[in-house]
Amino acid sequence: MKGELSREDSKRTFDAKAKEFDTNPVLLACVDAASRALRDGGLLQPGAAVLDFGCGTGLLALAVADSVGSVLGVDSSQGMVQFLRQKVEARGPGCNVRAACCEVTSPSSLHEANDPADPFPEQFDLIVSSLTFHHVEHIPDLLRLLVGHLKPGGRLAVFDYQKSAVSDQFHPHEMLHTVFHPAGFAQQELCAHFEGAGLADVSCRVVGEFEKPSGTKPPERMPYELLMALGTKPTQ
């Protein structure tokens, strides 16, 4: 069981990693595959309020922003959020992306991170998350919280790597303290979690393939697959 100390350590690790994120070929490949799957699936709608949970430096948030109404990126690492805010500022005043430093751990987390002087929405048409679920210990708890922030009829799209014979080599040793699901997820596992959280029309499929050096046996390269799990919050 990883405790309070380890969560702080994990945040510090992500703070330090933020400057490398935008040139990381694996993250870029995953964002590319994720934004293509969202677009091809008709999930990006004009006017939609979107939440990117565990947004990092906002690679996915910024990639989908032009196709939707607004995007709120939330991340527990202040370093990541600062990077995203700099990119938003560079895009100018018309940019529809905002960033909040928030560790989503309770139904009130997002509310507590909100800015009363300039509030962001707390209910969303679409919630996306890329390569973040494997960093969260209790997936059913997390899903319950995220579903609580979906409007009725809203969609949840989670991207993470598929469990395989080599997938536990995804992370290098120095990142393992940030990871609760080192082997990633099986399709049936994510579907069962989504259904358990009350989502309907649940599906899960591979939307991208990529290679990266093994975390435990570098420089050997290993193949990985990116999953998209999708579900809809029932309207009643």
| Residues near ligand SAM, by CB under 6 A | 14, 21, 27, 30-31, 54-56, 59-60, 74-77, 80, 103-105, 130-132, 135-136
Rounded Cα distance between 167 and 79, Å, is 27
Token output for 75: 């991340």
Shortest Å distance, C-beta 115 to ligand SAM: 17
Cα 157 versus chain centre, distance: 9
CB of residue 144 vs ligand SAM: minimum separation in angstroms? 13
Burial class (CB in 10 A: 0-12, 13-18, 19+), 149: buried
**What's the closest the beta carbon of residue 94 comes to ligand SAM, in angstroms?**
23
- Torsion-angle region of 58 (φ positive above 0: left; ψ -120 to 50: alpha; else: beta): left
d(CA 45, CA 61): 14
User: CA-CA distances (angstroms) from residue 78 to 8, 14, 68, 109?
Assistant: 11, 9, 25, 15
Of 30 and 227, CB closest to ligand SAM? 30
Helix (H) or strand (E) holding 158: strand 150-161
Cβ closer to ligand SAM: 30 or 199?
Answer: 30
Question: Taking CB positions, which residue lies at the least distance from ligand SAM?
Answer: 56
Judged by CB, which is closer to ligand SAM: 70, or 132?
132
CB of 38 to ligand SAM, least distance (A): 13
Q: How far apart are CA 68 and CA 60, in angstroms?
A: 12
Cβ–Cβ < 8 Å for 109, 103: yes
Comparison of 106 and 188: residue with beta carbon closer to ligand SAM: 106
Least Cβ distance, residue 51 to ligand SAM (angstroms): 11
Nearest approach, Cβ of residue 235 and ligand SAM (Å): 27
- Pick between residue 23 and residue 235 the one whose CB is nearest to ligand SAM: 23
Whichever of 19 and 153 has its CB closer to ligand SAM, that residue is 19
